């Protein structure tokens, strides 16, 4: 029984979809219930990890084609990946394909329909999308709000599983790192006296609202220092110019390898996500797992992710974040926050639920 977990961006970029797919494969790959294969768009191939040829969305060929064809570069990446996936489907005959990219799942549904493939499609609904769920056999809903909305709109509860993202959380490792906070700060070029605000996400205005974050930090004293880590895109140069104007000498905006992000979580004093809506927001749990107080917009999704461990404010209003950060006093110590993240979201807690969800779909193929 072969099961594929697939992600076109894995090996090219670092978003929530990619980090989840990577961690999920690593957490489940040794199961005896089925043979799990990771199918990805970049990186290295091994016996259980297969890299497929494709046109990555950030590379020139995909962007040039997007100017000619009626598809954006992201869709072109998924189309070319899907075409490369065909021979692997034919030879390995997966019984389940587990994916997060909605458009890719739609193409896989059409392939199954016209080529008479037998695989079941398991959709991790991180955006979220739907209902109706016409091209999915089973849907993983990450938060209660999405499950409740889907059922109210007519989607059967029987084809949905409420199951949050899993995370690699090593409590002992994180506590040890936090004990070295001053040394880690020094290695990154920061002092003990600075109040470091961290935000992780694509460096843009339209969703992550990094411009709002810069404007708010500019209202605070010089002891506050802003770090923004994330993928660069077309709006990034304008955001960097705004930071240079408003926060000269008090900011860093950069992209770093995934393995280095943890040092910034350890070094920071606060974590802020300025977006007004997120499907889930994996970075919130990553921050929580390092014991960071999280300041977020006040909406149901964030509350269901962070529970009692978030500070909720109206980030649609100018001045609210600056006011919050100038007065915030965390109600929990870092150890308590790390323990909460571990008990709610670690793979050791959630692994069996993931195996159950996949195995039940395998058994009805």
For the stretch 205-257, pLDDT in tens is 999 999 999 999 999 999 999 999 998 989 999 999 999 999 999 999 999 98
Dihedrals phi, psi of 164, to nearest 5 degrees:
-75, 170
For the stretch 170-212, pLDDT in tens is 999 999 999 999 999 999 999 989 999 999 999 999 999 999 9
Give the tokens for residue 271: 């974590």
Question: What number is the average pLDDT over the span 161-169?
Answer: 96
Q: How large a percentage of the chain has pLDDT more than 90?
A: 88
Contacts of 205 (CB under 8 A, 6+ apart): 211, 235, 238, 239
CATH number 3.40.50.2000 given to 171-345: yes
Task: Look at residue 106 in the predicted model and tell me its pLDDT.
Answer: 95
Buried b (16+ CB within 10 A) or exposed e, 346-360: bbeebeeebbebbee
- Residue 346 CA to residue 195 CA, distance in Å, equals 29
pTM of the model: 0.91
Name the residue ranges covered by the structural domains of the chain: 2-167+346-363, 171-345
Task: Look at residue 130 in the predicted model and tell me its pLDDT.
Answer: 78
Task: Look at residue 331 in the predicted model and tell me its pLDDT.
Answer: 66
- Residue 60 CA to residue 256 CA, distance in Å, equals 22
Q: Do domains 2-167+346-363 and 171-345 have the same CATH topology?
A: yes
Q: How far is CA 345 from the centre of its chain?
A: 13
Run of H or E including 264: helix 261-267
For the cut 80, the answer to whether the pLDDT of residue 329 exceeds it is: no
- Residue 351 CA to residue 236 CA, distance in Å, equals 37
Gyration radius from the chain CA atoms = 21
Question: What number is the average pLDDT over the span 260-274?
Answer: 95
CATH number 3.40.140.10 given to 2-167+346-363: no
């Amino acid at each position: 029984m072969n099961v594929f977990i697939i992600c076109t961006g894995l090996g090219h970029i670092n978003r929530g979809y990619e980090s989840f797919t990577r961690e999920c494969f690593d957490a489940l790959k040794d199961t005896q219930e089925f043979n799990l294969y990771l199918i990805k768009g970049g990186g290295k191939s091994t016996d259980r990890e297969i890299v497929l040829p494709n046109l990555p969305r950030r590379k020139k060929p995909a962007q040039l084609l997007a100017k000619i064809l009626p598809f954006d570069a992201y869709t072109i990446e998924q189309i070319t990946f899907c075409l490369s996936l065909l021979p692997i489907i034919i030879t390995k005959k997966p019984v389940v394909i587990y994916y997060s990219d909605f458009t890719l799942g739609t193409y896989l549904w059409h392939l199954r329909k016209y080529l008479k493939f037998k695989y079941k499609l398991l959709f991790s609904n991180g955006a979220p999308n739907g209902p109706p769920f016409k091209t999915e056999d089973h849907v993983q809903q990450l938060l209660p709000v999405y499950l409740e909305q889907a059922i109210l709109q007519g989607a059967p509860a029987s084809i949905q599983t409420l199951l949050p993202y899993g995370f690699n959380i090593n409590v002992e490792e994180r506590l040890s790192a936090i004990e070295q906070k001053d040394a880690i700060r020094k290695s990154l070029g920061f002092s003990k006296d600075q109040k470091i605000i961290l935000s992780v996400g694509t460096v843009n205005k339209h969703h992550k609202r990094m411009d709002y974050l810069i404007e708010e930090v500019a209202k605070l004293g010089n002891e506050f220092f802003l770090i923004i880590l994330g993928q660069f895109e077309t709006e990034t140069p304008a955001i960097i110019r705004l930071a240079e104007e408003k926060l000269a000498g008090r900011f860093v905006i950069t992209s770093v390898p995934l393995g280095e992000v943890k040092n910034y979580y350890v070094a920071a004093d606060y974590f802020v996500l300025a977006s007004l809506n997120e499907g889930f927001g994996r970075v919130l749990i990553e921050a929580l797992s390092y014991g960071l107080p999280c300041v977020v917009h006040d909406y149901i999704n964030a509350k269901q992710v962070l529970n009692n461990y978030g500070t909720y404010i109206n980030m649609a209003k100018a001045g609210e974040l600056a006011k919050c950060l100038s007065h915030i006093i965390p109600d929990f110590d870092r150890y308590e926050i790390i323990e909460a993240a571990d008990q709610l979201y670690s793979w050791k807690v959630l692994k069996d639920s993931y195996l159950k969800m996949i195995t039940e779909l395998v058994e009805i193929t």
